[in-house]
C-alpha cells in the first residue's frame, strides 16, 4: 500500500482535494512521514467552479468542511499557528505558485481518476518537474483502484458479482490498515514571516469565491470530519438492519455517508473495515452495505478502464437507440425536472433532490427508469441533471447508476425490465408517507389512491380538494403504452445477448 519510491525531503506540501480529513489520509500520512515540514493547501479550482450555479450546496459543504479541517489540523499539531492555505484560481498554476513560494521539494496528493482530474494532474506534474519539484500521488478514495482487481485473463471485470468475489478474495488487513499520523504531527509547518503576506488570509468564505449561501444548514447533512463521524456513529446502531430498511425512502435506512465519501471527510478504509468485521460476525445488514461500498470501487474501475462511458453507452450497441429529443420531449423532460409528471412517487423524489440535493437510492432507480423507459429520453439528460443537483455527485457512480437504469451499462438490468412507477410506489412507500412529505397537495388522499390519483373516483378527488391538471398534474404519459414504445425502441439491441 505504501509507495516505497518516496525519498525524504526537508519541506513538502499536501494538496487536499476529495480527501478533506486528517486521520487515515494517505497523502497526508506520506507527506508527514517523508518531510520534516509539511504545508497544507486546498485550491478552490475555478475550472471546476466556473460552470456551477452560484448557490451550490456542494461548494458550501466543501467550504464548511475546510473550516473543520483547519481546526482538526490545529488540534492535531496542538498549535493555533497551523494553517490550511486556501487558494482560488486554476489549480495548475496555483499549486506551482504555492510550491515555489513555500520552497517545497515535493507535492503530495491522492489519486483522482476522473478525466478532468487526470489531465489536470498530468499538467501539474509536468510544471513541477520543470522546476525540480517531485509530485507523488496515492490511493485513498477507494480500496482497490485501476487494475488492482482483474480477471484471470488480466482484463477488467464488466460484471459486478465476479468482481465482488475477486475483491473479497484479494482484500487483506493491510489494504484496510488505518494510517496514523500521530507520530509525525509535529511536522505540520507554521507559516514563516516571509510567507504571511501571500498566505495568511483565513479559509476562503463562499463570498470570497463568488458563491451564495444555500439551505444546507437547514438540512440533516452535517459537514466536515465531525459531521462524517456523527453520521457514521448513528449508522452503526442501524447497520445490522440495513438490508431490511434500505429500500424504503420514509425509513431512516441508509448511512447518508455518500457526500462524506465523495469529499473524503470519512475514510473508506474505516467504513470497509467495520462492514467486513460485522459481516464476518454474521450481520446480514453489514454484508449488503459492504456490497454497496464494493459497487463504488467497481464503478471507479469501469471509469478508469472505459473513460468513454462519460459520453457513450458501455455497451456500444445501445448508442443505436433513437431517443426522443424534439420539443415535446424537452417539455416532458422539464416536467420531470420540475416534479410535474403526475406520478406521485416520481414527483416526490424530484422534489427531494431539488430541495435538498439528496435522493434516496431506491428512488434514483425509479426516476431514472421513468425518464428513460417511460418518457423515452436519453439517459445522459438525466445523468447531467443529477450531476448538477446531487450533493453526493460522483462521476463514476452517477454514470454507472444511469447506465444501469437504461440497460446500456455493465451488469445492467435487461432492457425489457421496466419499473412500473405505481407498483414501485405501492411496494416501497405503501402508506404514502414519503409522498406526503414532499407533496402536501396530496395530503388528503388515502393510501389506496395516493399512488395513482388519476384512478381515484371524482368524489374521492373532490373531498381531497384535488383537481387534476390544476393543483396536481395529470400523468404526462400512460405507463402501459410507454412500455410498448420502449420495447420497440430497444428492439435495435435485441440481437445482443442478455
Question: Judging by DSSP bridges, how do beta strands 84-89 and 134-138 pair with one another?
Answer: unpaired
Tell me which residue has cell 508527514. 32
Residue in 167, 295, 336, 404 annotated catalytic: 295
In what order do the strands lie in the sheet containing 35-45? 84-89, 35-45, 9-16, 106-110, 134-138
Q: How far is CA 386 from the centre of its chain?
A: 10
C-alpha 409/C-alpha 295 separation (Å) is 13
C-alpha 10/C-alpha 362 separation (Å) is 51
295 is catalytic: yes
Residue 265 in contact with residue 225, Cβ under 8 Å?
A: yes
Nearest Cα neighbor of 289 from 226, 225, 352, 244 is 244
244 is catalytic: no
137 is catalytic: no
Residue in 114, 148, 292, 324 annotated catalytic: 292
- Rounded-to-10 torsion of CA 372, 374, 376, 378: -20
292 is catalytic: yes
Residue in 3, 312, 361, 420 annotated catalytic: 361
CA distances from 10 to 44, 105, 156, 180, 461 (A): 27, 7, 40, 21, 75
Residue in 114, 145, 312, 323 annotated catalytic: 323
C-alpha 191/C-alpha 105 separation (Å) is 16
15 is catalytic: no
Which secondary-structure segment (H or E) carries 46? helix 46-49
336 is catalytic: no
C-alpha 226/C-alpha 72 separation (Å) is 9
C-alpha 253/C-alpha 237 separation (Å) is 11
Q: Which residues are catalytic?
A: 292, 295, 323, 361, 379, 402
Amino acid at each position: 500500500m505504501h509507495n516505497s519510491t518516496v525519498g525524504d525531503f526537508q519541506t513538502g506540501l499536501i494538496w487536499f482535494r476529495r480527501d478533506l480529513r486528517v486521520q487515515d489520509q494517505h497523502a497526508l500520512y506520506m507527506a508527514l512521514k517523508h518531510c520534516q515540514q509539511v504545508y497544507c493547501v486546498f485550491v478552490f479550482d475555478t475550472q471546476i467552479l466556473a460552470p456551477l450555479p452560484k448557490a451550490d450546496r456542494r461548494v458550501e459543504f466543501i467550504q464548511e468542511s475546510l473550516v473543520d479541517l483547519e481546526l482538526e489540523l490545529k488540534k492535531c499539531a496542538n498549535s493555533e499557528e497551523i494553517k490550511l492555505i486556501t487558494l482560488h484560481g486554476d489549480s495548475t498554476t496555483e499549486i506551482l505558485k504555492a510550491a515555489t513560494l513555500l520552497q517545497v521539494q515535493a507535492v503530495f496528493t491522492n489519486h483522482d481518476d476522473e478525466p478532468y482530474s487526470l489531465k489536470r494532474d498530468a499538467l501539474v506534474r509536468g510544471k513541477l518537474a520543470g522546476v525540480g519539484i517531485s509530485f507523488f500521488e496515492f490511493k485513498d478514495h477507494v480500496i482497490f483502484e485501476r487494475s488492482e482487481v482483474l480477471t484471470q485473463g488480466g482484463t477488467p471485470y464488466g460484471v459486478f458479482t465476479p468482481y465482488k468475489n475477486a475483491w473479497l478474495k484479494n482484500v487483506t488487513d493491510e489494504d484496510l490498515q488505518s494510517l496514523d499520523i500521530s507520530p509525525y504531527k509535529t511536522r505540520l509547518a507554521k507559516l514563516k514571516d516571509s510567507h504571511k503576506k501571500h498566505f495568511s488570509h483565513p479559509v476562503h468564505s463562499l463570498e470570497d469565491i463568488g458563491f451564495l449561501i444555500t439551505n444546507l444548514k437547514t438540512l440533516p447533512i452535517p459537514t466536515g470530519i465531525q459531521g462524517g463521524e456523527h453520521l457514521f456513529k448513528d449508522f452503526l446502531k442501524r447497520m445490522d438492519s440495513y438490508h431490511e430498511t434500505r429500500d424504503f425512502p420514509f425509513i431512516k435506512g441508509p448511512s447518508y455517508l455518500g457526500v462524506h465519501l465523495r469529499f473524503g471527510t470519512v475514510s473508506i478504509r474505516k467504513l470497509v473495515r467495520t462492514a467486513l468485521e460485522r459481516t464476518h460476525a454474521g450481520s446480514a445488514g453489514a454484508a449488503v452495505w459492504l456490497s454497496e461500498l464494493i459497487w463504488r470501487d467497481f464503478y471507479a474501475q469501469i471509469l478508469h478502464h472505459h473513460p468513454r462511458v462519460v459520453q457513450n453507452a458501455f455497451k456500444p450497441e445501445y448508442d443505436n437507440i433513437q431517443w426522443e429529443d424534439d420539443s415535446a420531449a424537452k417539455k416532458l423532460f422539464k416536467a420531470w425536472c420540475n416534479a410535474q409528471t403526475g406520478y406521485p412517487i416520481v414527483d416526490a423524489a424530484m422534489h427531494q433532490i431539488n430541495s435538498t440535493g439528496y435522493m434516496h437510492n431506491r428512488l434514483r432507480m425509479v426516476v431514472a427508469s421513468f425518464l428513460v423507459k417511460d418518457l423515452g429520453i436519453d439517459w445522459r439528460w438525466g445523468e447531467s441533471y443529477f450531476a448538477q443537483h446531487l450533493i453526493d455527485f460522483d462521476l463514476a457512480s452517477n454514470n454507472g447508476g444511469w447506465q444501469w437504469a437504461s440497460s446500456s451499462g455493465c451488469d445492467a438490468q435487461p432492457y425489457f425490465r421496466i419499473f412500473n412507477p405505481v407498483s414501485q410506489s405501492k411496494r416501497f412507500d405503501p402508506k404514502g408517507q414519503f409522498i406526503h412529505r414532499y407533496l402536501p397537495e396530496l395530503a388528503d388522499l388515502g393510501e389506496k389512491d395516493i399512488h395513482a390519483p388519476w384512478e381515484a373516483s371524482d368524489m374521492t378527488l373532490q373531498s381531497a380538494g384535488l383537481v387534476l391538471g390544476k393543483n396536481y398534474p395529470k400523468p404526462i404519459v400512460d405507463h402501459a403504452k410507454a412500455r410498448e414504445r420502449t420495447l420497440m425502441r430497444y428492439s435495435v439491441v435485441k440481437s445482443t445477448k442478455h
